[in-house]
Amino acid sequence: MLELSLVLDWQNVCPYKCHCFTPLQVLCAEERMSSFPRNISRQVREVIIMTSSVSYLFSHSLMESPQLTRLIFLNNALRSIHLNAFELLTELQELELSGNPPLDHLLPGTFSKQEKLTKLLLNYNSLKTVRLGMFDSLKQLEVLQMKSNVLSDLPPFLFQNLSSLLEILKLSNNLLSNLTCDTFHNLSHLTELHLEWNRIAHLDDGIFSTLTNLSVLNLQGNLLTSFSDKAIGSEPTNLRVLNLKGNRLTELSFLRNLSSLTDLMLSGNQLSSITDNLFRRLTALENLDLSDNQLTSLPEGIFKNLLSIKVINLHNNNLTEVDAKLFEDQIFVERLYLSDNKLETLPLGLLDHFITQHIVRLHGNPWRCDCQLWYLHDWLLDNGQNVEMLDMMACESPYFLRKRTVVSIPRDQLVCHLAEDQAPDLNSCSLQIANNTMIIRCKVEKCSPATVKVTNSNPAGRSVRKLWRK
């Protein structure tokens, strides 16, 4: 009875238009709510306000709930927050003010009393700038997010007082263009830095050099035309994930100091060539994405020393040929994507090095279905279960096999036709018959893969064919 009485008590004091699923949590999701709810029990530790019409947080709005440890405003209509709105909430550990399109500024000192705060989320607002000193009191902060605002610059040393514990900093989907070495000064505990979808066109040498524990660096969707690991520093780093997708890269410098890198994403750039030693030091690399570039060829040794690599994505480039030894050391490959290139054939043995279960994509290439395709044809028959979209691997030439799937063509139809300058001069041929054996001798300038077909008719009128290859 006592337990039931307590349950009834906290349900009875639940604020109007809100839900109290436990004595510690209050959820308010009411479009007509225009102010922070009153009469919240002092037992409550977490309050979530969603999709309301709350536009202002005044100095007195939260004064009845100083015990809160978690406060979330999500997808509301917040327009302005008083400098002292959170002054009494000294126990806060997590604060989110996200999804408020009218909110375009915060005053320095707004979080001055939140010394226990470990997580601050300010996403999907319209913040135009963040003033120096905004985060100075947040000495325990571990996660700071300001995604999807309209920030165009950051004051130097903005994060300098967060160096002791800050691990994750997310600044994606803003208008940032000019970053300096002072921007991330001394954030030695930072493990993730997200700068994707900004307007960054240049990185100063050493701009990330003080981020000695950085594991993830995301620069996707910026305006970079070149990249060098000088931006990360002259010493080997702990960086494991580097995302450079969707920039404007036309060149990459030798990546010397990224020996811990496991994931390198370079897709959606404008790379037309890469040097043979570019990845030579990336001995821990497992995932390499070079898709959606303009590569026309690859150096034979481009993947040399990448003994741990599992995924190689070369989808949608302009490759016309690949070297037979290109994947010689990549025995642990699990996924290889060569789809949507300009390959007409594959060299003998190219796909024979992998020893683990692997998936291959080869569709979208203009396969030339002649004798040069014998290796790939036989490999497909033996390994078709490993090929995704096998039914989309079609011949582009010769014309009489066009659009036929490669695996549907019998091997003996994959024939090569000699050019006129390769064909023997039949006038130079002689015919001899001895002991029921017919011998044809022709003079040829060089050996060829030509197959000689001789057709004669038996007494029943049926054709009999015999094949010889020279």
Count of Cβ atoms closer than 10 Å to residue 100 Cβ: 23
Which of 401, 325, 350 has the alpha carbon at shortest distance from 393? 401
Query: Residue 11's pLDDT is what?
Result: 52
Number of neighbours of residue 420 by Cβ within 10 angstroms: 5
Mean pLDDT is lowest, of 181-185, 298-302, 402-406, 453-457, for 453-457
The partner residues of 289 in beta bridges, in order of sequence, read 265, 313
* Partners of 469 in the β-ladder: 451
Q: Alpha-carbon dihedral of residues 306, 309, 314, 315, nearest 10 degrees? A: 180
Beta bridge partners of 48: 27, 72
pLDDT in tens, 42-79: 999 999 999 999 999 999 999 999 999 999 999 999 99
Identify the bridge partners of residue 361 per DSSP, sorted by sequence position: 337, 388
Structure confidence by residue, pLDDT tens digits, 195-248? 999 999 999 999 999 999 999 999 999 999 999 989 998 777 899 999 999 999
Residue-wise pLDDT tens digits, 296-342:
999 999 999 899 999 999 999 999 999 999 999 999 999 999 999 99
Show the 3-state SS of 298-361.
CCCCCCCCCCCCCEEECCCCCCCCCCCCCCCCCCCCCEEECCCCCCCCCCCCCCCCCCCCCEEE
Nearest to 418 by CA among 369, 371, 357, 466: 371
What pTM does this model have?
0.86
Confidence of residue 38 (pLDDT cuts 50, 70, 90): confident
In Å, how far are 167, 227, 303 from 192, measured between CA atoms? Answer: 6, 19, 27
Alpha-carbon span 326 to 324, nearest angstrom? 6
Domain with CATH 3.80.10.10 in the chain: 1-199, 271-417
Q: Name the pLDDT band for 434 (thresholds 50, 70, 90).
A: low
Show the CA angle centred on residue 66, arms to residues 61 and 67, nearest 5°: 140
Round to whole Å and give the CA distance between 372 and 416: 8
Under 8 Å CB-to-CB from 406, ≥6 apart: which residues?
367, 369, 373, 376, 377, 380, 393, 394, 395
Q: Which of 329, 384, 339, 346 is nearest to 365 (CA)?
A: 339
Region 104-133 average pLDDT: 96
Per the listing, tokens 């070079």 go with 290
Q: Is the pLDDT of residue 133 over 60?
A: yes
Q: What is the DSSP letter of 386?
A: G
Query: Looking at domain 1-199, does it have CATH number 3.40.109.10?
Result: no
Instruction: Return all residues near 353 (Cβ < 8 A) that are at least 6 apart.
Output: 327, 328, 329, 330, 331, 333
Q: Is the pLDDT of residue 447 over 70?
A: no
375: helix, coil or strand? helix
Euclidean distance between CA atoms 443 and 437, whole angstroms? 20
Burial class (CB in 10 A: 0-12, 13-18, 19+), 335: middle
Exposed / middle / buried, residue 71 (Cβ in 10 Å: 0-12, 13-18, 19+): buried
Distances, alpha carbon 251 to alpha carbons 247, 295, 320, 368, in Å: 11, 11, 20, 32
Read off the pLDDT of each residue in 237-265 and give the average, rounded to a whole number. Answer: 94
* CATH code assigned to 271-417: 3.80.10.10
Write out the two tokens for 103: 């909110």
Query: How much is the average pLDDT of 431-452?
Result: 64
Residue 434 to residue 421: CA distance in whole angstroms: 32
Q: Which of 333, 381, 382 has the alpha carbon at shortest distance from 357?
A: 333
Give the whole-angstrom CA distance, residue 324 versus residue 346. Answer: 8
What is the signed CA dihedral for 155, 157, 159, 162, rounded to 10 degrees?
Answer: -160
pLDDT of residue 448: 54
CB atoms within 10 A of CB 409: 15
CA-wise closest residue to 264 among 334, 313, 212: 313
